[in-house]
Amino acid sequence: MEIKKVGVLGCGLMGSGIAQVAASAGFVTVVKEVSPEFLEKGFKGVEKSLAKFTEKGTITAKQQKETRDRLSGTTSVQDLADCDIVIEAIVENLDEKRRTFGELDSICKPETIFASNTSSISITEMMTATSAARQQRFIGLHFFNPVPLMKLVEVVRTILTDESVYEIAVDFGKRLGKVPVRAGDKSGFIVNRLLVPYLLDAIRALEEGVGSIVDIDNAMKLGCGYPMGPFTLGDFVGLDTTYYIAEIMFNEFREKRFAPPPLLKRMVLAGLYGRKSGRGFYDYSNDSKNPTPMNLV
């Protein structure tokens, strides 16, 4: 089986990026959204990104046009029926994902591979919303933000994924210009399994008075050569998202290292989500970045 036509569910931050890399790699790509407004917003982002690549000389104006021409949008799930692979990038909500995959199962051809871009939900839990035959053609394809720039894709298999389907998915990742890594269906896969405890530990260090926000960030940046410190990264990812992922991983593994520290929970309760809400470990008001004053005792 050869992948020729790609379906993408959701044209948000991740879905639009996935659609862009699929169309750039030469695949006919159709994106399904809940409304034309969401499609328009997502495609505007794609056009802006492609224009930047052309400006920099990474792609030619001809390639830019051809890529855009291979992309189409729809609000009808029926238009995904003949796709060879459908990649889901809708909201991180298990019920919504199960409902969507269940519906898709009765619409898509039997050969269609189903993939989810989830960061933390178990692939197996989504897979069981589909028929026994489809369950063997169900994988995780976990891309990283921003998708057109980040080279990694985690290719996740469940205990039931067919070996040949998995190899097609690994090869598909390469054809998208990514470096695929193989991962089992354990919460967090590889990257979040290692990254989330690190981010949580940085918060515990702050709670325990090991150092200030700025000093812990600088220590990890300059001492370990990381491109940014844990608090800058946490604010970038979103503290609500980090909290949500940590809860799911803690429930899966029941290990303390995945437990969200009280300070993280309180920051989320107080609406300090990071960059997206204007305040997290840092305050981003007036285009600046200063540590948020917090009473830690």
Q: Which of 12, 102, 278, 291 binds ligand NAD (CB under 6 A)?
A: 12
Task: Name the catalytic one among 24, 117, 154, 187.
Answer: 154
CA pair distance 26, 176, nearest whole angstrom: 9
Q: Tell me, yes or no, if 286 is annotated catalytic.
A: no
Catalytic, 192? Answer yes
Residues 11-35 as b or e (16 or more Cβ within 10 Å = b): beebbbbbbbbbbbbebbbbbbbee
Asked whether 199 and 233 are in contact (CB, 8 A), the reply is: yes
Among 29, 49, 119, 187, binds ligand NAD (CB under 6 A): 119
Q: Binding segment for ligand NAD among 92-100, 210-218, 260-268, 270-278 (CB under 6 A)?
A: 92-100
CB of 112 to ligand NAD, least distance (A): 16
State yes or no: is 88 an active-site residue: no
Binding part of the chain for ligand NAD, among 32-40, 211-219, 265-273, 284-292 by CB under 6 A, reads 32-40
Q: Which residue has the tokens 């919460």?
A: 187
- List the 85-88 sheet strands across, edge first: 71-74, 28-32, 5-9, 85-88, 113-116, 138-143, 152-157, 179-184
Nearer to ligand NAD, 94 or 214 (CB): 94
15, 180, 261, 280: which one binds ligand NAD (CB under 6 A): 15
The answer to whether the CB of 216 falls within 8 A of the CB of 205 is yes
Q: Is the peptide bond before 227 cis (omega within 30 degrees of 0)?
A: no
Per DSSP bridges, beta strands 152-157 and 179-184 are parallel
Answer yes or no whether residue 13 interacts with ligand NAD by CB under 6 A.
yes
Residues 16, 119, 122, 187: which is the catalytic one? 119
Cα separation, 260 vs 234, whole angstroms:
13
Q: Scanning residues 189 to 228, which ones bind ligand NAD (CB under 6 A)?
A: none
* Site map (CB under 6 A) of ligand NAD, residues 138-157, x = contact: -----x-x------------
- Copy the structure tokens of residue 91: 């909201």
Residues at the contact surface with ligand NAD, assessed by CB under 6 A: 9-15, 32-34, 38, 89-92, 96, 100, 117-119, 143, 145
Catalytic residue ranges: 119, 142, 154, 192
